[in-house]
Amino acid sequence: MSPPFKLQPLLDLSKLRLDEATRELGQLIAGEQEASRRLALLTQYRDEYQARFRTAAERGLGPAEWTNYGTFLARIDDAIVPAAQAVALTQQRTLAGKQDWVGKQGRVRAFDTLADRHRAMVANQVSKAEQKINDEHGARGHANKEGGQAELLASLLADKAKAGLNT
> What CATH number does the domain containing 23 carry?
1.10.287.1700
Interval 109-127 mean pLDDT: 94
For the chain, the domain total comes to 1
Q: What span, in angstroms and rounded, lies between the C-alpha atoms of 47 and 155? A: 114
In-domain check, residue 1 = no
In-domain check, residue 46 = yes
- List, for residues 20-47, the tens digit of each pLDDT value: 999 999 999 999 999 999 999 999 999 9
Which range of residues forms the domain containing residue 157? 8-166
In-domain check, residue 2 = no
Checking if the pLDDT of 153 tops 80, the result is no
pTM of the model: 0.68
Predicted confidence at residue 3, as pLDDT, reads 84
Half-sphere exposure of 115 (CA within 13 A, CB side): 13
pLDDT band at 114; cut points 50, 70, 90: very high
Predicted confidence at residue 167, as pLDDT, reads 46
Q: What span, in angstroms and rounded, lies between the C-alpha atoms of 2 and 44? A: 65
